[in-house]
Amino acid sequence: MAQGDIEQAATLSHSTSNLPEVCGRLCPQQRLCEGACTRVQDSGAVSIGALERFITDTALARDWQPRTAAAPRNGKRIAVVGAGPAGLACTDELNKAGCTVTVYDKQAQIGGLLNYGVPPFKMAKEVLARRHRLLTAAGIDFTLGVTVDEPLLRRLLDDHDAVFLGIGAQAPRAVAIDGQHIPGVYNAISYLAALNAHHLGDAVDPPDLTGRHVLVLGGGDSAMDCARAAVRQGAASVTVAYRGNAQALRAMPREVDYATEEGVRLVFQHQPLSILGETRVTGVAFSVRDSAAPHHNHITCDTVILALGQQPDPPAWLAPLGVASDARGLIVVDTNGRTGHPAIYAGGDISNGPDLAVTAIAAGRRAAQGILANMLTTSGRATVRVQG
């Protein structure tokens, strides 16, 4: 980058990350790469996130192309279920190693929560549409708008050498708060998914928050995304209530700054007790711990968005196939991403729990390495290798 060779910089960047343009936009660099920068105590960390975005965007604008499939193909066929970051990373690595890969996803667009959970003001939809075009040009086949059920998965196992499951953790986390089924209460995943689907042109009508007084419960990036989205929908007021103090917020500092700059009010040490109302939300009752004498507080609102996390919800029919889940609902895998079924691998949020895009990408790459290593063992094809 310092030498001005953007194309070579992009080649190097892609050698260790399959979605550098995503990581550069969404990762909490201050506690990952920039936090580990050797300059951080001196003159300040290198602006790795901004450089990562610039390198990829500039190289692609100049018609640079990432490395594509090995030639010739190795004769192996892999099915990837889920086009989120884990599935896309696994797909890209397998394709570059010469496998023929088909990706299945229930949504009409690739990206998983990157597309349907991240609002467009945070990452333009064209970023993933561009990556979709690149992967398709590299020889990857996408079958979108298709839900993989048990019969289809069994057919995929019959027709492919391996299957990778990158189905994410897209169920809202269960919370014990009375009143969460009152009209006017939404969960963050459904709310953001509806907004994004509408933006992508799907026939979906998101909740109309024009003139509403919106209260978001939570303290992570999703809470800030919901709050900032509500502002853009024309909400009369938006408040984020978090159970911890400001220092304990899980959201990235820049996302908190953006939210407050846009008029979002933040209140801390507010533990929700119950959502109030009968035919419509009227407010939320809290236990407040911001003083020596804890007390109760009531915040008036007519809309509540629960941004309290998500959890995996793997289909029960995976168990008879030998794909076990633990008590948290996480699919159990070994260090190479292999499940109890010898041909089924998994990775990302479905095996790690809700985490960062970069963590899912890493899991997808590890699973690809595991799949390819298993092929070496079973077929003796010493030519099958994975990059990275």
pTM of the full structure: 0.93
pLDDT tens per residue, range 121-178: 999 999 999 999 999 999 999 999 999 999 999 999 999 999 999 999 989 998 999 9
Q: So what's the pLDDT on residue 379? A: 57
Q: Place 311 in a pLDDT band, splitting at 50, 70 and 90.
A: very high
Give the closest residue to 372 by CA, choosing from 352, 351, 353, 345: 345
Token pair of 228 as six digits: 């900032």
| Greater pLDDT, 232 or 386 | 232
Domains and CATH numbers, the chain: 6-61 (no CATH), 77-169+312-379 (3.50.50.60), 173-309 (3.50.50.60)
**How far is Cα 123 from Cα 276, in angstroms, rounded to an integer?**
35
Q: So what's the pLDDT on residue 68? A: 82
**How far is Cα 373 from Cα 328, in angstroms, rounded to an integer?**
29
Structural Rg of the chain based on CA atoms: 22
pLDDT value at 293 more than 50: yes
Across the beta sheet with 270-277, the strand order is 270-277, 281-288, 295-300
pLDDT tens per residue, range 23-76: 999 999 988 999 999 998 888 899 999 999 999 999 999 999 998 877 789 999
Query: Which residues are registered as beta bridge partners of 298?
Result: 285
**How far is Cα 245 from Cα 267, in angstroms, rounded to an integer?**
9
**How far is Cα 351 from Cα 297, in angstroms, rounded to an integer?**
39
Q: Burial level of 274, CB count in 10 A (0-12/13-18/19+)?
A: middle
Average pLDDT of the residues of the chain: 94
